[in-house]
Structure 1
Amino acid sequence: MTIMDGSRTLHRTLDLCLRLGEVLLSSGAGAADVTATMRAVSRALGVRQVQVDITFTALAMSVQHGPDEPPVVQLRSVTQRDIDYEDLTRTDQLVRDIVAGRVDLEEARSALARIVSSGHARPRWAATAGWGLMCGGVALQLGAGIEVVAVAILAAVCIDRLQLRMTRRRLPVFYQQIAGGVVATVLAGVCARLAEPWQEVNTSLIVTANIVMLLAGIGFMGALQDGLSGFYVTGSARVAEAMLATAGIIAGVSGGFTLCQVVGLQIPHLTLPRFDLVGVSAAVVGGGIAGAAFAFACYAPMRILVPIWALSATAVLATVGMEEAGFGRPWAVGLAAFLIGLFAYTLGRRFRVPPLVVVVSAIVPLLPGLTIYRGLFLLTEDGGGDVAQGLFAMVTAASVALALAAGVILGEYVAQPVMREARRVEARLAGPRLVGVTRVRRRRRHPEHHHQDRGEAGPGAPAEKH
């Protein structure tokens, strides 16, 4: 191989690693996972001792073969993409094939190009239907009747289509969250007015279900994972993004409350779900539907939907049981999230999907939509509201979000022991692996190659002249 050919191969290898990292990072993978995956791929393709630098919006990769040689550096910006767990799963499998030696450099580049250019596996209207079904599941989980479930589905469909149009016009996510909160609140007020002559409908559950829908795409877990694994810059950026998106939800829902009061629409007081046998059964079934529907809306492979349904339902049942036993809401959801993290790794390996797909989907029914709604309702209620109780509810919602992320990551730490094989890939094991390989099998090499890698003369090689 000539020097020019070697340089060309090096540049193409770094470019492949950067493109793989872009797909993983934009899909919500932690910076530690992305760093370890890029190093594993470069090592498998013969490029060693690489340096990887990751921020929230950029990737950098460099290699220097000797102290007297100039380093080769490549950069790549990370563009925001729709959540597509089908692409993430296929990319994760491609990484495993590269590390196992089943795919060479050119085949890997072609395969990745097909993955990122092939579009979604399902039509866009199917994703919209998935979002609607997810909100219907959350409403059922909270004890809503068939009328409220139907309206929650309709509101989710309207919000998704509205946000899609706003995305095409390149409006920031903050304004999309505000629009979603306003639509959910106003539609709930209209439904309450239309149903007023016949019966009082708990339309507040419509707003709650759609708050969960808006919360589902926020990367709380990735932000905490980056912070715990030492990627403070990326973690801080993700925290800022999550807080800004949540602030958009709060602004939209509170603005919707104010608009309803101005035009004379009244949203009934929130009725908390029952914890009898019927209520718990509905909560378990609805929670399972919400988790599986979210995965479907994010284009997760069909083979993982039933396991996600079962894990989500189990997490809801565990949460209800621990709350009834006297645990506070943050502790209950934190322990349930720990169970999710514990089983997500096994399910991911069994059904050939990254554990991230299972984890993010299964925690959807545990998101603090009900607590956020209660806090906003108390703060904006006629007569000044109960400010102290409202602020306490908002602090509780933040605690629940933190408990969810911390519980899931702790479960992954327990599920994935510190593997000796992973240390051969990474300079250090920076955290639990939600995406990418955790074990690398060394391929046997010819003794001559082994000597050459160590800078020694192999059998039959000429001796070095002194």
Structure 2
Amino acid sequence: MRDWRAAHERELTPDGLEEDEDVDLPDARAIDLVLRAGELMLASGEGTETVSEAMLSLSVAFDLPRSEVSVTFTTITLSIHPGGDHHPITGERVVRRRALDYFRVNELHTLVQESALGLLELEDAAARLKQIRRARMPYPNWVIAIGFGLIASSAGLMVGGGFVVAAVAFMATVLGDRTAVFLAKRGVAEFYQMTAAAIVAATIGVAMLWVSSTLDLGLQAGAIITGNIMALLPGRPLVASLQDGISGTYVSAAARLLETFFILGAIVSGVGVVAYTAGRLGVGIDLDSLPSAGTSLELPVLVGAAGIAMAFAISLAVPPRMLPTIGALGVMIWVIYAGLRSLLDVPPVVGTVVGAIAVGMVGHWLARRAHRPVLPYLVPSIAPLLPGSILYRGLIQITQGTDNLEIGAVAGLLSLAEAVMVGLALGAGVNLGGELVRAFQRGGLAGAGMRSRPAARRTRGGY
């Protein structure tokens, strides 16, 4: 593939342009295939750099001369110069609707690899693409909804809420998700869908907290809100934004990062309104007893970590055969984080970075060995360390505070800043793990190994 790609790039030389006087126009079906495959891959949640590599691989496989690909957050452009007296040909597709579906991403990677190896003719590849586009996800819609609930219940179990609180967290998150679906069908913007989902689940959590305190049940009802926050946190756009930034596609990176902060804003708005209202109604929340997993390595915590990772994978339509591996990676990242914090007393951000680097290395290695995309391994596996409890603490400190409102607001803002730092540490860590694997392995969808990656070119100084 590297030799094939190098020969394809040599056609860009002036001598090649002079020799190509009588050339045939490229097949319009191949152009359409490359554009539609890239569009579906980007709409299903794949990163910008990988989409570019896949489109270039298809361009080489189906003899599209002198191809240039431009991929942004919502637009895909393919430009081809046939040579001779022919004008360049440019096609564009716009992604207007995105639905996270790692099952389709996995199938599209297989399509690209088989095409690049010459195992598929153009007609067969086009038929396979149409089949992938029409294929059903491996889980029905009700299983996806249950997956969101299982994220919250696993998180509730992980932070010490117990089985009763985990069951209520499951119901609260599913009700919140159904509320968001109801609003989506009526054309309400996604920001308000997320806000409504957070409000519904947080209201149920506060009601459970009031019942527990009134009847002296001793339940960690705050774990319901923590679990819902974990289910709503934007792990996928966070990882993809840092991945795009590191690979040099800064426009897409900025757009994805802005999407991440908009989702965080919706969660903060929804939970913050409920927490403030609860405080005004006299439902107090003790800051000293907020749910947190700490650095525990007990069996319920490990089961919760595996459950969060696998439930997150189900909500992203990851193929079922990958779930056990993802559960093991979820346990691994938590064991590394908790072990470093308890044994070496490192700050949370340091433990998060080390755990994320380890998961990034293992995930990239598994993806390369199995010839699969890497995001289905990485995004669910970091879910146990998403800063749900830190974000919840910050919101409570801001809305209820202490006797000194100014001190409470400052403490809350510091907690929110810590939550953002932990999230960025997760994204940067898994990407650094991938860079370490890339540094010692060759290959990629377009032969983008150690020496042929555009983002690796130095921008200052010389080689």
Partner in structure 2 of residue 400 of structure 1: 422
CA distance in 1, matches of 2:291, 2:341: 14
Cα distance, 1:310 vs structure 2: 0.6
Give, as a single letter, the amino acid of the residue that structure 1 aligns with 2:256.
R
Is 1:154 the counterpart of 2:176? The answer is: no
Give, as a single letter, the amino acid of the residue that structure 2 aligns with 1:271.
L
Pair 275,420 (structure 1): closer, same or farther in 2 beyond 3 Å: closer
Is 1:254 the counterpart of 2:281? The answer is: no
Is 1:181 the counterpart of 2:205? The answer is: no
In structure 2, runs of 5+ residues without a counterpart are 1-22, 457-463
Structure 1 segment 78-93 matched on structure 2, within 5 A:
78-93=95-110
Which one of the candidate residues 32, 35, 38 is aligned to 2:49?
32
Structure 1 segment 62-81 matched on structure 2, within 5 A:
62-66=79-83, 68-81=85-98
Is 1:338 the counterpart of 2:357? The answer is: yes
Which one of the candidate residues 410, 420, 441 is aligned to 1:388?
410
Partner in structure 1 of residue 299 of structure 2: 281
Whether contact under 8 Å (2:158, 2:302) holds in the other structure is yes
CA distance in 1, matches of 2:197, 2:365: 35
CA distance in 2, matches of 1:185, 1:424: 46
Cα distance, 1:67 vs structure 2: 6.3
Partner in structure 1 of residue 18 of structure 2: none
Which has the higher mean CA deviation after the structures are superposed, 263-272 or 179-188? 263-272
Q: Give SS of 2:340's match.
A: helix
CA distance in 2, matches of 1:280, 1:356: 29
Partner in structure 2 of residue 435 of structure 1: none
Partner in structure 1 of residue 389 of structure 2: 370
Q: CA RMSD for the aligned pairs?
A: 2.4
Is 1:429 the counterpart of 2:446? The answer is: no
Cα distance, 1:274 vs structure 2: 5.9
Q: Deviations over 1:71-127 (max 9, x none)?
A: 000010013222111111111111111111111111111111111122322211111
Q: Give SS of 1:39's match.
A: helix
Which has the higher mean CA deviation after the structures are superposed, 206-215 or 15-24? 15-24
Give, as a single letter, the amino acid of the residue that structure 2 aligns with 1:307.
T
Which has the higher mean CA deviation after the structures are superposed, 104-113 or 349-358? 349-358
Partner in structure 2 of residue 410 of structure 1: 432
Whether contact under 8 Å (2:290, 2:393) holds in the other structure is no
Partner in structure 1 of residue 68 of structure 2: 51
CA distance in 2, matches of 1:397, 1:209: 15
CA distance in 1, matches of 2:257, 2:68: 25
Q: Deviations over 1:198-222 (max 9, x none)?
A: 4132211111111111114550111
Which has the higher mean CA deviation after the structures are superposed, 204-213 or 10-19? 10-19
Pair 218,305 (structure 1): closer, same or farther in 2 beyond 3 Å: closer
Whether contact under 8 Å (1:284, 1:314) holds in the other structure is no
Q: Deviations over 1:323-380 (max 9, x none)?
A: 1221111111111010111111233345553211010010111111111111111011
Which one of the candidate residues 375, 383, 386 is aligned to 1:356?
375
Whether contact under 8 Å (1:189, 1:266) holds in the other structure is no
Percent identical residues: 30
CA distance in 2, matches of 1:217, 1:159: 19
Partner in structure 2 of residue 138 of structure 1: 155
Is 1:95 the counterpart of 2:132? The answer is: no
Which one of the candidate residues 228, 248, 252 is aligned to 2:246?
228
Which one of the candidate residues 126, 149, 154 is aligned to 1:109?
126
Cα distance, 1:429 vs structure 2: 1.0
Give, as a single letter, the amino acid of the residue that structure 1 aligns with 2:334.
V
Which has the higher mean CA deviation after the structures are superposed, 399-408 or 46-55? 46-55
Whether contact under 8 Å (1:148, 1:206) holds in the other structure is yes
CA distance in 1, matches of 2:361, 2:315: 24
TM-score w.r.t. length of structure 2: 0.87
Partner in structure 2 of residue 316 of structure 1: 334
Whether contact under 8 Å (2:34, 2:58) holds in the other structure is yes
Whether contact under 8 Å (2:154, 2:304) holds in the other structure is yes
Pair 402,149 (structure 1): closer, same or farther in 2 beyond 3 Å: same
Q: Give SS of 1:386's match.
A: helix
Q: Give SS of 2:337's match.
A: helix
Pair 176,430 (structure 1): closer, same or farther in 2 beyond 3 Å: farther
Partner in structure 1 of residue 20 of structure 2: none
Q: Give SS of 1:416's match.
A: helix
Aligned length: 428
Whether contact under 8 Å (2:363, 2:377) holds in the other structure is yes
Partner in structure 2 of residue 326 of structure 1: 345
Which has the higher mean CA deviation after the structures are superposed, 421-430 or 71-80? 421-430
Which one of the candidate residues 137, 140, 144 is aligned to 1:127?
144
CA distance in 2, matches of 1:211, 1:76: 34
TM-score w.r.t. length of structure 1: 0.86
Whether contact under 8 Å (1:41, 1:95) holds in the other structure is yes
Q: Give SS of 1:103's match.
A: coil
Whether contact under 8 Å (1:218, 1:245) holds in the other structure is no
Cα distance, 1:234 vs structure 2: 1.1
CA distance in 1, matches of 2:348, 2:130: 45
Whether contact under 8 Å (1:341, 1:409) holds in the other structure is yes
Pair 265,430 (structure 1): closer, same or farther in 2 beyond 3 Å: farther
Give, as a single letter, the amino acid of the residue that structure 1 aligns with 2:35.
L
Give, as a single letter, the amino acid of the residue that structure 2 aligns with 1:210.
N
Q: Deviations over 1:368-414 (max 9, x none)?
A: 11111111110111553612211111111111111111100110111
In structure 1, runs of 5+ residues without a counterpart are 433-466
Partner in structure 1 of residue 16 of structure 2: none
CA distance in 2, matches of 1:274, 1:311: 18
Whether contact under 8 Å (1:22, 1:59) holds in the other structure is yes
Is 1:210 the counterpart of 2:232? The answer is: no
Q: Give SS of 2:78's match.
A: strand
